[in-house]
Chain A
């Protein structure tokens, strides 16, 4: 199975700054079938990005995804208070689908 590694483990930033989160796969993710999720404490995950770069419904434009092959990035520009959360990447190019361990974005 494909193993996803996310870095950094924790990202400490301030309001208004930009966040760059990395997701690296142990082998190429076919067709850029990679998704990103946000999870706040006590809540279910929420889909942000699929297909590496397509924003899900109602996701603000400050969230953007990029990458292909084995290296993918989630960028959050102009951090707002509601963006402080854990972010997971997930590949669905190869079965079984797998998740990364997460990156925590905190203040």
Chain B
């Protein structure tokens, strides 16, 4: 089955670090870009950035550049999203999605993980 499986929900305190994961299966994981998309509770979708697991080429949305780090390990078909110092405003659902690329970081998303809920609260 073609799928993306994300790590479980996290509850963290402000200032803590966090790394969440997204494991692909059923397709050639290194050959497709993976995107991360944020959804604040009750709000819309925001594109954060993409990574090509084959060579770890990474692109960020200007809104998220410097705020998060996207990485991947193609040997275990897994992409990651990490924070070095969480803020309460990082509380959201984070989805990974397979990005069908049209160049220059443009593309649509044809396969989604179920999301990882990150809650940051003191």
Contacts and interface: CB of A to CB of B under 8 A. Distances in A.
Interface string B102-113: 101111111111
B47 interface: yes
Interface string A27-41: 000000101010000
Given A44-B95, A47-B110, A50-B100, A88 B44 contact: yes
Interface residues of B, number: 23
Interface string B35-57: 00000000011110000000000
Contact of B44 (A35, A92, A93, A102): A102
Given A44-B113, A44-B115, A97 B44 contact: no
Contact of B102 (A33, A44, A57, A96): A33
Interface string A44-56: 1111001000001
Contacts, number: 62
Nearest to A91: B106
Contact of A96 (B62, B109, B110, B112): B62
A101 interface: yes
Contact of B107 (A46, A88, A97, A101): A97
Interface string B85-115: 0000000000101001010111111111111
A94 B108 contact: no
A84 interface: no
B61 interface: yes
A50 B108 CA distance: 7
Closest 10 interchain pairs by CB? A44-B112, A35-B108, A99-B45, A92-B106, A50-B108, A95-B105, A95-B104, A47-B110, A101-B44, A96-B61
29 contacts: A33-B106, A35-B108, A35-B109, A37-B45, A44-B95, A44-B97, A44-B114, A45-B45, A45-B97, A47-B108, A47-B111, A50-B100, A56-B110, A57-B110, A90-B45, A90-B108, A92-B106, A93-B106, A94-B106, A95-B105, A95-B106, A96-B47, A96-B105, A97-B105, A97-B107, A97-B108, A98-B47, A99-B45, A99-B46
